[in-house]
Amino acid sequence: MDKIIDIIDSIAYEKGLKVSDVEIALKDALIKTAKKMINQDLIFDAEIDRPKKRLKLFQKIEVVANDSEFLSEENKNCISLDEAKTVDPSLELGDFLEYDLEFEHLGRNAATILHSNLEYNIQRYLEENLLKKYKDKLGKIVTGNITYIDKAENTYIEIGEVKGILPRKNRIKGEFFKVGDVIKAVVKAVNIDKAKGLMVEISRTTPKFLEALLKLEVPELKDEKVIIEASARIPGERAKIALSTTESNIDPIGAVVGVKGVRINSVSAQLKGENIDCVEYSAVPEIFISRALSPAIVKAVKYNKSAKHDERATAVVMITADQKSKAIGKNGLNIRLASMLTKTDITIEEIGGVSAAPSDNSSSQPEERTKDTTSLEALFK
Q: Could you say which of 238, 260, 281 is where a domain stops?
A: 281
**Contact call for residues 278 and 263 (beta carbons, < 8 A):** no
User: Within this chain, do residues 214 and 232 fall inside the same structural domain, yes or no?
Assistant: yes
**Contact call for residues 157 and 163 (beta carbons, < 8 A):** yes
pLDDT at residue 372, rounded to an integer: 59
Going by C-beta distance under 8 Å and a sequence separation of 6 or more, which residues neighbour residue 375? none
pLDDT at residue 170, rounded to an integer: 94
User: Within this chain, do residues 209 and 197 fall inside the same structural domain, yes or no?
Assistant: no
User: Within this chain, do residues 165 and 244 fall inside the same structural domain, yes or no?
Assistant: no
Residue with the bigger pLDDT between 74 and 291: it is 291
**Contact call for residues 157 and 166 (beta carbons, < 8 A):** yes
User: Within this chain, do residues 9 and 124 fall inside the same structural domain, yes or no?
Assistant: yes
pLDDT at residue 376, rounded to an integer: 57
Q: Answer whether residue 72 is part of any domain.
A: yes
pLDDT at residue 51, rounded to an integer: 84
pLDDT at residue 337, rounded to an integer: 95
CA–CA gap between residue 272 and residue 175 (Å, rounded): 8
User: Within this chain, do residues 269 and 370 fall inside the same structural domain, yes or no?
Assistant: no
Q: Answer whether residue 138 is part of any domain.
A: no
Tell me the β-bridge partners of 156.
148, 165
Q: Answer whether residue 142 is part of any domain.
A: no
Q: Which of 98-102, 134-138, 355-359 has the lowest mean pLDDT?
A: 355-359
CATH number of the domain bearing residue 162: 2.40.50
Q: Could you say which of 281, 311, 328 is where a domain stops?
A: 281
Give me the domain span that covers residue 260. 205-281
CA–CA gap between residue 253 and residue 264 (Å, rounded): 10
78 pLDDT higher than 60: yes
353 pLDDT higher than 80: no
Helix, strand, coil content of the chain in percent (nearest 5): 35, 30, 35
pLDDT averaged over every residue in the chain: 88
Q: Which of 62-76, 134-148, 360-374 has the lowest mean pLDDT?
A: 360-374
User: Within this chain, do residues 264 and 302 fall inside the same structural domain, yes or no?
Assistant: no
pLDDT at residue 102, rounded to an integer: 85
User: Within this chain, do residues 115 and 172 fall inside the same structural domain, yes or no?
Assistant: no
Strand segments, DSSP code E, in 65-95 are 78-80
CATH number of the domain bearing residue 61: 3.30.1480.10
Q: How many structural domains comprise the chain?
A: 4
Other C-beta atoms closer than 10 Å to the C-beta of 332 total: 13
366 pLDDT higher than 50: no
369 DSSP assignment: B
Q: Answer whether residue 140 is part of any domain.
A: no
Instruction: Render 27-42 in DSSP notation, one character per residue.
Output: HHHHHHHHHHHT-TTS
**SS3 category, 300:** strand
